[in-house]
Structure 1
Amino acid sequence: MAAAEGGDHYEAIIVGSGQGGTPLAAAFAKAGKRTLLVEEKHIGGTCVNEGCTPTKTMVASARVANLTVRGPEYGVRYKRSSLMLELDTVRKRKRDIVESFRGGSEKRLASEANLEVLHGRGKFVGKRKLEITSTGTSSPGFVGSTRTVTGSKIFLNVGCHPAPLNVKNADKIPHLNSTTIMELAEVPKHLIIIGGGPIGLEFGQMFRRFGAKVSIVQHGPRLLPREDEDVSAAVKHILEEDNIDVYVNATVREISRVPTGLTVVSVALPKKASADEEEISVKTLTCSHILAAAGRAPNTAELGLESAGVDVDGRGFVKVDENLETSASGIYSLGDVNSGSPQFTHISYDDFRILKHNILDNPNAKPKSTTGRIVANVTFMDPQIGRVGETVASAKKRWPGRKLAIASMPMTWVARALEVNETRGLMKGMVDKETGEILGFVCVGIEGGELMSVVQMAMLGGLRYTDLENAVFAHPTLAESLNNLWGNLEDLP
């Protein structure tokens, strides 16, 4: 295709090489479309470089450390006086796996005909027109320069970054985020984590097992606020069993330094004064390190979206329709940066599949959309928290007139969990009482994500809870517990 006035023209431009953008770029190239992939930092996006892949390798190291300490429970003892953690080895293993994953993606992209990769920062300077400023080595002649390109279609897969810590003195006091904490050269003496979501819980338990004293400070009334109360309570109990201090309904007022070099965190906690009022008590926590883990912010501030006519919500997330098209015709967005989208890698990849189907594979067929897809996720603390479908709160909001029933049981009732001495947590399923349809499931337990996936497959296949209740699962497996769970069904009020 001929070059457009003022710069090169591509049939598809993908900004961001996350879990949706990378395969989408390859798909357009394979379809014979002249394609440009723009990536500011590393191929693979947050998941491969700073998120799922590196954190889960470190979580695995922490689990081995914990099992080593628990050896005597299983009748296994080492003739050593104490556990020795080699954090350098933990980091090297993490880095090696990240580089392997990233390198594989880079090689696959480099082999694609019709695909050009530029390491640069993209900014809209018009409708479907981008100015790209070099941020590294890429195409010959582009290093240290700027190019203007246009695209028939443009796709945003720019993701998010750790939200800044909104606390007094946060701009003056050094603190960690979910990326920088993985590069620590030593284990903190006392790590305070501000935020009680999945990121905070995974790092909190990890560094407790590495030997740090850990405190988690959560602004809301419970950890994992999107989960049901009994799930949040079970998670809090597990962390406290692991000797992690958990503060809920806690507001960090400020952070400051003391002459010894430590950091002081001032936390406001509610203290019941009477039946009609509350008063606040202020607790001072002294720590060596702070981790800001109170959410993520979209990478849209410097994209110049207003020049392209792309609307965002009040927090800067991109507004899209059910087919992932933005307010600007021909510009699409996928992944974490989308307003209202679940911030999971697998959702970004499913966004890619929707766009590939609608634009490349079956443009004349009924379009696929994000409407009604079953969302699953796993928090990789130990034991895992595997969730698919609705919570009680979200189901009541979505279907106010539907008759719901809940089945719940502790992991102490699961034979396989007892055999391997991993009985912490619970599992819970929610169904439509009249039809038997499975509406949601959560497992806080050993391999909770894998057990959740069994239920997810049943939901995808349209099976009813009675199909799982009567299935002949192999003994002794975790899946076998799905025979027994549904015998505890109780109607929701």
Structure 2
Amino acid sequence: MGGTCLNVGCIPSKSLLDSSHHYENVSKHLATHGINISGSISFELEKIMERKRSVVAQTCDGIKYLMKKNKIDILHGEACFSDAKTIQIKAKNSATETVKAKKIVIATGSKPSQLPFSELDKTRIITSTEALSLKEVPKHLVIIGGGVIGLELGQVYKRLGADVSVVEYRDKIIPEMDASLGKELQRILKKQGLVFYLNHKVEDVKVKGNEVLLKATDKSGKILDLKADYCLVAIGRKPYTKGLGLENTKITVNDRGQINTNEYLQTDEPNIYAIGDVIKGAMVAHKAEEEGIFVAETIAGQRPHINYNLIPGVVYTWPEVASVGQTEEKLKADNVAYKTGQFPMRALGRSRASGNIDGFVKILSDKKTDEVLGVHIIGARAADLIGQAVVAMEYRASAEDISRISHAHPTYSEAIKEAALDSTGKRAIHI
């Protein structure tokens, strides 16, 4: 129960990020605070993994409890459509059960994408699933893809002692977010020791003994050869529709394999809905959750809504990265007249007191109306701070509205107020 997020996604990765962050703080940063620890600092990878498994188990057990509490029947097995109102469920013991339903929701999620020219052996050439359960810290981890998954897991193993190289086809990391965030995050991660090869196309990946050999070329055709003991393929995810029997229904998919739905998340069969990673949009758990609630309320006869522009995106590296609304690049492409306000974290008293001075808050607002169009944050606790921006934008606040709200001092959230002040006539107080 719980799907990708709880089992092999959000929850286990955050557990490993937290444990590795603790280790890095103790081994590298406590002396700055006047805390001296005698002797060598070490970690036990198996205990880190054991804690991760415990967190996952507790969370999944919580889902089972909620199912039982709400009297929801759980049928275990592989489901396949016989027609638009009939599902065949094949259990592990090969027994088959037929279920008929008036309404059906497809929520089968996604799985890691593969390279067309290289087979995942899941031992040396791995996906995020295997990377969450390694039995050793890689000596050299090569990551194909500079997106969220690759960077988070790359930082975990870098903290634990691995050399980490990131090979990205595009000219920036976290390419779907505002370009300024990717530029700043890359600067910080390079300072932490990660090595980046941008504008590189991977041509070949193969295993030779206990080594992975990777070949890539840059825009000029120059060849890059990398050797590693592990290669993490993190080039995105694709919808999981294999074996669903969609051919037995009128349901269609687009060229990316995503199930087509209308504004009510109905498929081409009006009684069948689809949500989450299996349809278009950001592949994040909170988007899927909102869609699940939307469909449940729709079926119950209510009139819910989802504003897809206000689904936040988060990268849980340290510093964290969070974003909501329009990027500066998108506003330029759409010829929208806008204003920019930005405030550096290092100018905050709280940031200096905690030693987390990297990053900034950037607010984009309409040049004429001052309505906030996008908020982009990189810094400590950005994942939590972005919630304030989502609330403001849901109520169509202006940058001045945010600037006139009292923010507790000293807090990281003051950077949002200061960025709003900067957006409304360059009135930021502390820069």
- Scaled to the shorter chain, the TM-score interval is over 0.9
Summarize the Cα distance change of 1:372–1:209 in structure 2 as closer, same or farther, 3 Å threshold: closer
Q: Give per-residue Cα distances to partners, 1:114-172, cap 9 Å, x unaligned.
A: x321111111122222111113xxxxxxx431122221111101000111133346569
Is 2:18 the counterpart of 1:72? no
**Candidates 271, 295, 301, aligned match of 1:355:** 295
Distance in 2 between residues matched to 1:394 and 1:442, nearest whole Å: 13
Residue matched to 2:406:
472
Is 2:167 the counterpart of 1:217? yes
Is 2:271 the counterpart of 1:330? yes
Summarize the Cα distance change of 1:246–1:373 in structure 2 as closer, same or farther, 3 Å threshold: closer
Is 2:97 the counterpart of 1:156? no
- Contact kept, 8 Å, 1:411 with 1:423, in 2: the verdict is yes
Q: What letter matches 1:368 in structure 2?
A: P
TM-score with structure 2 setting the length:
0.94
Partner-residue secondary structure (3-state), 2:358: coil
Distance in 2 between residues matched to 1:229 and 1:358, nearest whole Å: 37
Residue matched to 1:19:
none
Offset of residue 72 of structure 1 = 1.7
Residue matched to 1:231:
181
Offset of residue 361 of structure 1 = 4.8
Offset of residue 308 of structure 1 = 1.2
Is 2:200 the counterpart of 1:250? yes
Residue matched to 2:6:
48
Summarize the Cα distance change of 1:165–1:173 in structure 2 as closer, same or farther, 3 Å threshold: farther
Summarize the Cα distance change of 1:338–1:382 in structure 2 as closer, same or farther, 3 Å threshold: same
Summarize the Cα distance change of 1:346–1:420 in structure 2 as closer, same or farther, 3 Å threshold: same
Partner-residue secondary structure (3-state), 1:356: helix
Is 2:93 the counterpart of 1:125? no
Residue matched to 1:16:
none
**Larger mean Cα displacement after TM superposition, 192-201 or 370-379:** 370-379
Residue matched to 1:343:
283
Distance in 2 between residues matched to 1:347 and 1:233, nearest whole Å: 26
Offset of residue 489 of structure 1 = 3.1
Q: What letter matches 1:377 in structure 2?
A: G
Summarize the Cα distance change of 1:490–1:392 in structure 2 as closer, same or farther, 3 Å threshold: farther
Distance in 1 between residues matched to 2:152 and 2:236, nearest whole Å: 14
Q: What letter matches 1:182 in structure 2?
A: L
Distance in 2 between residues matched to 1:306 and 1:490, nearest whole Å: 55
Offset of residue 89 of structure 1 = 0.9
Residue matched to 2:351:
417
**Candidates 134, 139, 153, aligned match of 1:189:** 139
Distance in 2 between residues matched to 1:490 and 1:219, nearest whole Å: 37
Offset of residue 331 of structure 1 = 0.5
Distance in 2 between residues matched to 1:458 and 1:369, nearest whole Å: 17
Unaligned 5+ segments in structure 2 are 426-431
Distance in 2 between residues matched to 1:48 and 1:170, nearest whole Å: 23
Partner-residue secondary structure (3-state), 1:167: coil
| Greater Rg by CA | 1
Offset of residue 182 of structure 1 = 1.2
| Structure with more helix by fraction | 2
**Candidates 339, 345, 357, aligned match of 1:405:** 339
Q: Give per-residue Cα distances to partners, 1:235-275, cap 9 Å, x unaligned.
A: 1111100111111001111123445x3221112123xxxxx
Summarize the Cα distance change of 1:172–1:370 in structure 2 as closer, same or farther, 3 Å threshold: closer
Distance in 2 between residues matched to 1:463 and 1:172, nearest whole Å: 48
Q: How many residues align?
A: 424
Q: Give per-residue Cα distances to partners, 1:377-405, cap 9 Å, x unaligned.
A: 211000000111111123345xx353211
Offset of residue 46 of structure 1 = 0.9
Summarize the Cα distance change of 1:238–1:166 in structure 2 as closer, same or farther, 3 Å threshold: farther
Residue matched to 1:439:
373
Is 2:332 the counterpart of 1:383? no
Distance in 2 between residues matched to 1:344 and 1:368, nearest whole Å: 20
TM-score with structure 1 setting the length:
0.82
Distance in 2 between residues matched to 1:181 and 1:243, nearest whole Å: 19
Residue matched to 1:288:
229
Offset of residue 299 of structure 1 = 0.8
Is 2:61 the counterpart of 1:61? no
Amino-acid identity (%): 28
Unaligned 5+ segments in structure 1 are 1-42, 136-142, 271-278
- Contact kept, 8 Å, 1:201 with 1:381, in 2: the verdict is yes
Offset of residue 47 of structure 1 = 1.0
- Contact kept, 8 Å, 1:130 with 1:150, in 2: the verdict is yes
Summarize the Cα distance change of 1:173–1:184 in structure 2 as closer, same or farther, 3 Å threshold: closer
Trace 1:7-18 onto structure 2 (pairs within 5 A).
none
Distance in 1 between residues matched to 2:337 and 2:212, nearest whole Å: 51
Distance in 2 between residues matched to 1:396 and 1:354, nearest whole Å: 32
Q: What letter matches 1:227 in structure 2?
A: M
Partner-residue secondary structure (3-state), 1:440: strand
Is 2:181 the counterpart of 1:241? no
Is 2:310 the counterpart of 1:374? yes
Partner-residue secondary structure (3-state), 1:116: coil
Residue matched to 1:178:
128
Partner-residue secondary structure (3-state), 1:482: helix
Is 2:218 the counterpart of 1:269? yes
Summarize the Cα distance change of 1:299–1:291 in structure 2 as closer, same or farther, 3 Å threshold: same
Residue matched to 1:430:
364
**Candidates 84, 100, 104, aligned match of 2:42:** 84
Offset of residue 484 of structure 1 = 1.9
Q: Give per-residue Cα distances to partners, 1:319-369, cap 9 Å, x unaligned.
A: 111111011120001111112x2111111111122112221152xxxx334
Partner-residue secondary structure (3-state), 1:424: coil
- Contact kept, 8 Å, 1:128 with 1:150, in 2: the verdict is yes
